[in-house]
């Protein structure tokens, strides 16, 4: 378990302690080669605080306080008078750099949202460049959750800032030791989770310890048992983990891959995904982090992390070049329901890869490749409900059929929810599955959404919306409205303003729309302009290509498996209302054409399901007003969509 701070003490004990002893304690906990710059920074902070803090001040002080979700440590956390002060120093700096202001704000928000003891407390982030010129202490501005906007002050203003906050809060003192031991319950983004797991953090440190994390723990334990049994008995096994949107399926897969790689390096466990943007974003994030932490070239870091997260197509191409078993013994396949069917895989391999005789589905080829092992292997399939969004995706039925017809000797472990209609479309196959001797296990289903720490019922609400159940949607929304704002607007500029107003610190926001939303272009959303996923998701708000600029739009293909803090979902006439139900259209040439294929209709519905479940903290839905002079943007079409969403309980007043 990560130590909560490198050094902690009552304020009076800190003021009386020997400076070298404090520095020694910090150095001992650091655990890495101590650079002169870090030692100098600590000395500067210690000396400044010992000079400024009143000898009568009661409370507790923490140096290098752990922020596990972000994989970082706040310079100093000071508890006094019932208020939490998060202090970030920039030793030797004269300026209040934007990134530093956001960093201090992020730490405070992280404590408020994820640290149990801080949920109800006032928190004041403070940035102190130690060489900043003397200036007045600004007025404290509080948000509704009692997290103040960052105070940018010179060192001499610290005590005044503390006194000001204490007078405004009138908070009661609390048990500082109990506060520090109260528990950290983060809900990281998948990028943050991948970084933490790759740094060999325990999954318990980066997930909430309530229902979602408990479920993840049970799943991880059961999969570990399945792998060890296959290994000891020389068996080949496949395991299907199901889960609602946002339940942590990808997190579970990354955890399995990293834990096996750490303890069993000879197994070469690998996380595979056919989701190109997800793989690109994870690889880039891991490479940037590794290059920075280890001071190595990014190109080298990228090569090393690429063996941990791979695109399924790369794995497939390598397996085609040789008849030998893959080096990997444990393979985790993310979003397994999106694997290509026989027709799509064969067409791609014949036309794009030049394999004229290739005639297999992706599930068939993957299982066949792993079956080359003479002793044991395990394939783990992560299966999302209602997530198929593209033509040629085989769904779960293909995996079951391949195992039944070609590999009856494999041990098959399935979630007890695998035969639900969300996972297997073929009702007859679902009935057949129920009759087989497969091992059915409740621990292999992740039933609690952890993506949105503000509203675990979000995926349920979205399901009611897209399944044409407005009454149930309205009831569900009423239960989450105070925690998770979802708002309607007919103005894209208002939507942009709302996002910018809601986001604090470095919270990420962006524009999204379905890949078929071709007639949002006149309103300022051009879905045909392809985003660069790593840049859009990872670069900061100084980069015009990033999501922050609200210029480039991510489709369901770009964003599936990833997430934003706040999102605007643009709703076009492809998924429209008519005769009390949904209608499905695609834009071809110069007009909308009705979509008659049942499969394509399902893909379109799921596209909106994906878009509506990508935001962690809240979203605004933009439905354009249309244009009576443009037959492709008839106002009555958009009005009916807007009215239906209002019927689902979503308010239309933005209150900006």
**How do residues 375-406 score in pLDDT, each as one tens digit?**
999 999 988 765 556 666 666 778 888 888 89
- Among residues 153, 180, 207, the one where a domain terminates is 180
293 or 265, greater pLDDT: 293
Residue 655 lies in a domain: no
Together in a domain, 176 and 194: no
CB 209 within 8 A of CB 184: no
Q: Tell me, what's the pLDDT at 1?
A: 47
Q: How confident is the model at residue 190 (pLDDT cuts 50, 70, 90)?
A: confident
Q: How many residues are there in the chain?
A: 656
Cα dihedral 202, 124, 5, 283 sign: positive
Together in a domain, 213 and 278: yes
Together in a domain, 223 and 168: no
How far is the C-alpha of 574 from the C-alpha of 187, rounded, in Å? 33
Phi, psi angles (nearest 5°) of residue 259: -70, -40
Q: Which of 238-242, 351-355, 476-480 has the lowest mean pLDDT?
A: 351-355
Q: How confident is the model at residue 189 (pLDDT cuts 50, 70, 90)?
A: confident
Q: Where on the phi/psi map is residue 551: left (φ > 0), alpha (ψ -120 to 50), or beta?
A: alpha
Residue 268's contacts (CB-CB under 8 Å, 6 or more residues apart) are 261, 307, 327, 328, 329, 330
- In this prediction, what percent of the chain has a pLDDT beyond 70? 88
- Among residues 386, 416, 446, the one where a domain terminates is 446
Residue 653 lies in a domain: no
How far is the C-alpha of 432 from the C-alpha of 617, rounded, in Å? 41
Phi, psi angles (nearest 5°) of residue 203: -60, -25
Together in a domain, 136 and 220: no
Q: What is the 3-state secondary structure (H, E, C) of 410-437?
A: CEEEEECCCCCCCCCCCHHHHHHHHHCC
Mean pLDDT across 490-516: 96
Rg (CA), the chain: 27
> The domain containing residue 530 runs over which residues?
458-647
pLDDT above 50 (res 655): no
480 or 182, greater pLDDT: 480
pLDDT above 50 (res 30): yes
464 or 452, greater pLDDT: 464
CB 449 within 8 A of CB 245: yes
Together in a domain, 270 and 332: yes
Q: Which of 121-130, 176-185, 364-373 has the lowest mean pLDDT?
A: 176-185
Structure tokens at 31: 């655990």
Mean pLDDT across 537-556: 96
Q: Are strands 377-384 and 411-415 parallel, antiparallel or unpaired?
A: unpaired
Residue 652 lies in a domain: no
CB 495 within 8 A of CB 489: yes
- Among residues 126, 148, 180, the one where a domain terminates is 180
Where helices occur in 524-615 by DSSP H, the ranges are 533-538, 556-559, 598-611
How far is the C-alpha of 396 from the C-alpha of 99, rounded, in Å? 45
CB 412 within 8 A of CB 238: yes
Q: How confident is the model at residue 656 (pLDDT cuts 50, 70, 90)?
A: very low
pLDDT above 70 (res 633): yes
Together in a domain, 151 and 298: no
pLDDT above 80 (res 369): yes
Together in a domain, 255 and 142: no
Together in a domain, 151 and 229: no
Together in a domain, 474 and 335: no
| Enclosing H/E stretch for 230 | helix 211-233
CB 208 within 8 A of CB 453: yes
Residue 87 lies in a domain: yes
How far is the C-alpha of 254 from the C-alpha of 256, rounded, in Å? 5
Instruction: Report the CATH number that the domain containing residue 202 is assigned in CATH.
Output: 3.40.50
How far is the C-alpha of 197 from the C-alpha of 623, rounded, in Å? 39
Q: Are strands 591-594 and 553-554 parallel, antiparallel or unpaired?
A: unpaired
Residue 654 lies in a domain: no
Together in a domain, 318 and 217: yes
Mean pLDDT across 536-548: 95
How far is the C-alpha of 235 from the C-alpha of 407, rounded, in Å? 12
Q: Where on the phi/psi map is residue 400: left (φ > 0), alpha (ψ -120 to 50), or beta?
A: alpha
How far is the C-alpha of 327 from the C-alpha of 270, rounded, in Å? 10
How far is the C-alpha of 99 from the C-alpha of 540, rounded, in Å? 9
Residue 384 lies in a domain: yes
Residue 125 lies in a domain: yes
Q: How confident is the model at residue 209 (pLDDT cuts 50, 70, 90)?
A: very low
Q: How confident is the model at residue 109 (pLDDT cuts 50, 70, 90)?
A: very high
Mean pLDDT of the chain: 87
Together in a domain, 388 and 513: no
Q: In angstroms, how far is the first alpha carbon of the chain from the final one?
A: 43
Residue 613 lies in a domain: yes
Closest CA to 387 of 456, 341, 433, 337: 337
Q: Tell me, what's the pLDDT at 61?
A: 95
Together in a domain, 273 and 399: yes
Please count the structural domains in the chain.
3
Mean pLDDT across 128-147: 92
How far is the C-alpha of 29 from the C-alpha of 37, rounded, in Å? 17
């Amino acid at each position: 378990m990560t130590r909560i701070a490198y050094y902690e003490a009552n304020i009076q004990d800190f003021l009386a302690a020997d400076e070298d002893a404090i520095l020694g304690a910090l150095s001992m906990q650091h655990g890495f080669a101590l650079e002169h710059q870090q030692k100098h920074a600590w000395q500067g902070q210690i000396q400044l605080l010992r000079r400024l803090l009143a000898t009568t001040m009661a409370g507790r002080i923490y140096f290098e306080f752990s922020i596990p979700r972000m994989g970082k440590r706040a310079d100093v956390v000071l508890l006094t008078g019932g208020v939490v002060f998060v202090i970030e120093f920039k030793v030797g700096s004269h300026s209040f750099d934007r990134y530093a202001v956001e960093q201090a704000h992020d730490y405070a928000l992280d404590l408020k949202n994820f640290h149990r003891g801080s949920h109800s407390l006032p928190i004041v982030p403070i940035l102190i460049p130690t060489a900043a010129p003397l200036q007045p202490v600004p007025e404290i501005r509080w948000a509704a959750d009692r997290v103040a906007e960052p105070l940018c002050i010179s060192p001499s203003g610290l005590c005044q800032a503390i006194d000001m906050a204490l007078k405004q809060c009138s908070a009661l003192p609390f048990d500082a030791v109990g506060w520090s031991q109260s528990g950290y319950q983060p809900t990281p983004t998948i990028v943050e989770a991948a970084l933490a797991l790759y740094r060999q953090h325990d999954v318990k440190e980066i997930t909430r310890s309530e229902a979602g994390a408990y479920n993840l723990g049970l799943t991880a334990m059961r999969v570990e048992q399945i792998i060890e049994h296959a290994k000891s008995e020389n068996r080949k096994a496949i395991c299907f983990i199901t889960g609602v949107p946002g339940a942590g399926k990808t997190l579970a897969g990354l955890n399995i891959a990293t834990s096996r790689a750490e303890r069993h390096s000879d197994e070469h466990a690998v996380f595979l995904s056919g989701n190109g943007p997800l793989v690109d974003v994870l690889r880039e994030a891991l490479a940037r982090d590794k290059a920075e932490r280890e001071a190595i070239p990014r190109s080298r870091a990228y090569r090393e992390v690429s063996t941990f997260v791979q695109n399924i197509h790369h794995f497939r191409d390598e397996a085609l070049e040789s008849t030998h078993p893959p080096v990997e013994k444990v393979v985790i396949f993310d979003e397994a329901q999106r694997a290509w069917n026989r027709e799509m895989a064969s067409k791609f391999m014949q036309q794009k890869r030049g394999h004229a005789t290739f005639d297999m589905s992706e599930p068939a080829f993957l299982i066949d490749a792993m079956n080359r092992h003479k002793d044991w292997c395990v394939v783990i399939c992560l299966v999302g409900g209602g997530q198929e969004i593209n033509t040629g995706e085989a769904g779960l039925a293909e995996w079951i059929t391949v195992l039944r017809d070609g590999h009856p000797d494999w041990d098959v472990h399935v979630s007890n929810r695998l035969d639900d209609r969300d996972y297997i479309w073929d009702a007859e196959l679902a009935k057949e599955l129920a009759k087989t001797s497969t091992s059915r296990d409740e621990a292999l289903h992740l039933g609690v959404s952890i993506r949105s720490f503000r509203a675990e019922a979000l995926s349920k609400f979205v399901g009611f919306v897209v399944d044409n159940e407005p009454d149930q949607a309205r009831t569900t929304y009423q239960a989450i409205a105070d925690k998770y704002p979802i708002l309607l607007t007919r103005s894209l500029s208002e939507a942009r303003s709302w996002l910018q107003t809601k986001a604090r610190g470095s919270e990420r926001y962006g524009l999204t729309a379905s890949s078929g939303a071709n007639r949002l272009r006149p309103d300022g959303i051009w879905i045909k302009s392809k985003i660069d996923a790593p840049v859009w998701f990872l670069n900061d708000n100084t980069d015009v290509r990033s999501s922050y600029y609200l210029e480039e739009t991510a489709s369901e293909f770009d964003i599936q498996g990833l997430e934003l803090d706040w999102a605007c979902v643009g709703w076009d006439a492809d998924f429209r209302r008519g005769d009390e139900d949904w209608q499905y259209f695609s834009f071809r040439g110069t007009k909308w054409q009705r979509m008659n294929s049942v499969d394509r209709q399902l893909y379109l519905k799921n596209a909106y399901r994906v878009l509506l479940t990508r935001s962690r903290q809240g979203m605004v839905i933009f439905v354009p007003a249309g244009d009576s002079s443009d037959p492709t943007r008839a106002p009555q079409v958009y009005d009916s969509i807007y009215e239906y969403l209002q019927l689902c309980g979503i308010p239309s007043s933005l209150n900006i």
